[in-house]
Amino acid sequence: MVKMRNLFLFMSLFFMLALVACSSPEADEVLDYHNSLVDDVQPKLEEIQTLGQEVLSMNSQEDALEKQKNEVIPLLDEVKDYIESKEPEHDITKEYHQLKVDWINALRESVQLEQEAFEGLFDGSLTEEEANEVLAKSEEKTQESLEIDEKAQKKWEDIKEEYKFEDIEEEE
């Protein structure tokens, strides 16, 4: 669940943005897209982080697996479905969107592989060596998701510079 914490920390860096330059359809779309991620995805990532902490602190590995299977994975699927449902029209948003799609797919696969490894160990369908191989693949996917997330963050910084967006903090 360390990977969830890292992703949560990254996503928490995002702020609501204001458009300070002349608007264009491309600028409007990419800003709306990004802000929708902040508004709709960020709360789910925070919930996933909380659930991840609960999973890590559980005494029973079986209960932890059930919580991950029944609560964490469905939330990840909601985030994945939400991101994949977006259909941007402009190239700049399409590029940013593709990074987000690739990120959530790698993250989702990582968590699924982790789940499969531990379930396989508990039900005896995997040997310890096989489970370790699956866990290694999970870690590779985690690393891939972090690298893609970093690219998405860089892309967003480039977009902010290009369209002269500035960060503003939303008051609660």
Q: What domains sit in the chain, N to C, each tagged with a CATH number?
A: 2-16+23-167 (1.20.120)
List C-alpha distances in Å: 96 to 35, 119, 131, 136, 141: 13, 35, 34, 28, 20
Give the CA radius of gyration of the chain: 18
Q: Specify burial of residue 70 (Cβ count, 10 A radius: 0-12, 13-18, 19+).
A: exposed
Average pLDDT per run of 10 along the chain, which is 172 residues long?
51 37 83 95 94 92 94 97 98 98 97 95 96 97 97 97 86 57
Q: Residue-wise over 86-123: b if at least 16 C-beta within 10 A, else e? A: eebebebbeebbebbbbbbbbbbbbbbbbbbbbbbbee
pTM for this prediction = 0.84
